[in-house]
C-alpha cells in the first residue's frame, strides 16, 4: 500500500475545498467502514438509478476512484476480490493518512500496512451487510436512521476486573412501521470457535445488566448474530440457550441470506 504525500495544513485545506460532495461521500464511506470494494462503493455512491445505464454508473465510479487514488486520498490493497481477471471492480480501497486528514478523522491515524486475509474478509463482510441495509432503505423497506462501524460502535464495559471494550461489528438504528429498532450486529464468518463467541456474548450480557446503554437511550439494543449459514446460526443459538450465565432474550440469530429480514423483525 503506497504512502500518501506529506502536506501542510494549508495544503490539506486546499484539497478539502477541491472535493465534490460525491468525493466526500466516497471517502466518508471508506473511512467509516475501513475497507470497501469497488463494487460496494459503486452501490453506495453511484447507484444505477442515478445514471443512464449501469455501465455509466460503473464508468463514473471507476473514474472517481482512479482520481482519488492518484490524488493520494485512497489506496488500493494488493489483495483483490475475485482476482485480477475481475479488473478494476476487484480493487479494495482504504483511506490514506492524507485521506484521514482531509476528513478530519479523530484519534490516531490508521497505519497503512497490508491487512491479513482474515481482516479483509471480515471487514468486507461487515461492509456488505451495511450496503444491503442501504439498498433496502432506498427501496422503502425501512429508514436507516443511524449506523456506526468500528471503532465508533464500541462500548466501554465496567467489570469487576476493570473496564473492557465491547467491540460490535456494527450498530444500526432502523425506523420500521413507527418503531425504532436498535441493533448491535455481529458478522460471524465461522472462523472463531463457539466458546470464543460465547465469551463475547457474556460481555454483552454484562453490559446489558450494567444499564449504561439504557440510561442513555432508555433501551438496550438487540444483538443480531449473522452466520454464514443456518446450521452455524442454529449451533450458536443452542449454545447460548444452554449457557446458564446468559439470557437469550437479548440475542437474535440468522443466516447471511436472511439477515435483512431479521433486522426488520419487531418481535
Question: d(Cα 155, Cα 213) in Å, to the nearest integer?
Answer: 9
In order along its 267 residues, the chain shows pLDDT tens digits of 545 456 778 888 888 889 999 999 999 999 999 999 999 999 999 998 889 898 999 999 999 999 999 999 999 998 777 655 556 778 999 999 999 999 886 555 566 678 999 999 999 999 999 999 999 999 999 999 999 999 999 999 988 778 999 999 999 999 999 999 999 999 999 999 999 999 999 999 999 999 999 999 999 999 999 999 999 999 999 999 999 888 878 999 999 999 999 999 987
Full set of structural domains in the chain with CATH: 9-113 (1.10.10.10), 122-263 (3.40.1350)
The model's pTM: 0.90
Sign of CA dihedral 12, 13, 15, 20: positive
Q: In 141-261, which ranges are E strands?
A: 143-149, 155-159, 162-166, 170-176, 179-187, 222-227, 251-255
DSSP string over 57-101: HHHHHHHHHHHHHHTTSEEE-SS-SS-GGGGGGG-EEEE-HHHHH
Give the contacts of 34 (CB within 8 A, at least 6 positions apart).
94, 110, 123, 149, 150
Alpha-carbon Rg for the chain, nearest whole angstrom, is 20
Burial of 152 (0-12, 13-18, 19+ CB in 10 A): exposed
Amino acid at each position: 500500500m503506497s504512502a500518501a504525500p506529506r502536506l501542510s495544513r494549508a495544503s490539506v485545506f486546499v484539497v478539502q475545498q477541491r472535493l465534490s460532495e460525491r468525493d466526500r461521500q466516497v471517502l466518508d464511506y471508506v473511512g467509516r467502514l475501513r475497507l470497501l470494494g469497488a463494487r460496494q462503493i459503486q452501490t453506495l455512491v453511484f447507484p444505477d438509478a442515478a445514471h443512464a445505464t449501469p455501465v455509466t454508473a460503473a464508468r463514473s465510479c471507476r473514474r472517481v476512484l482512479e482520481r482519488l487514488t492518484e490524488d493520494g486520498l485512497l489506496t488500493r490493497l494488493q489483495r483483490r476480490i475475485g482476482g485480477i481477471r475481475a479488473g478494476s471492480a476487484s480493487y479494495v480501497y482504504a483511506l490514506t493518512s492524507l485521506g484521514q486528514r482531509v476528513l478530519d478523522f479523530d484519534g490516531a491515524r490508521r497505519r497503512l500496512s497490508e491487512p491479513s486475509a482474515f481482516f479483509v474478509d471480515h471487514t468486507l463482510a461487515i461492509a456488505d451487510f451495511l450496503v444491503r441495509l442501504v439498498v433496502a432503505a432506498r427501496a422503502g423497506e425501512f429508514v436507516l436512521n443511524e449506523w456506526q462501524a468500528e471503532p465508533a460502535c464500541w462500548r466501554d464495559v465496567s467489570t469487576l476486573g476493570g473496564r473492557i471494550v465491547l467491540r460490535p461489528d456494527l450498530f444500526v438504528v432502523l425506523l420500521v412501521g413507527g418503531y425504532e429498532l436498535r441493533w448491535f450486529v455481529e458478522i460471524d464468518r465461522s472462523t472463531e470457535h463457539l466458546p470464543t463467541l460465547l465469551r463475547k456474548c457474556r460481555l454483552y450480557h454484562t453490559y446489558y445488566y450494567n444499564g449504561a446503554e439504557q440510561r442513555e437511550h432508555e433501551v438496550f439494543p438487540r444483538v443480531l448474530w449473522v452466520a454464514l449459514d443456518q446450521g452455524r446460526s442454529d449451533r450458536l443459538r443452542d449454545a447460548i440457550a444452554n449457557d446458564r450465565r446468559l439470557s437469550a432474550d437479548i440475542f437474535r440469530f440468522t443466516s447471511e441470506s436472511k439477515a435483512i429480514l431479521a433486522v426488520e423483525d419487531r418481535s
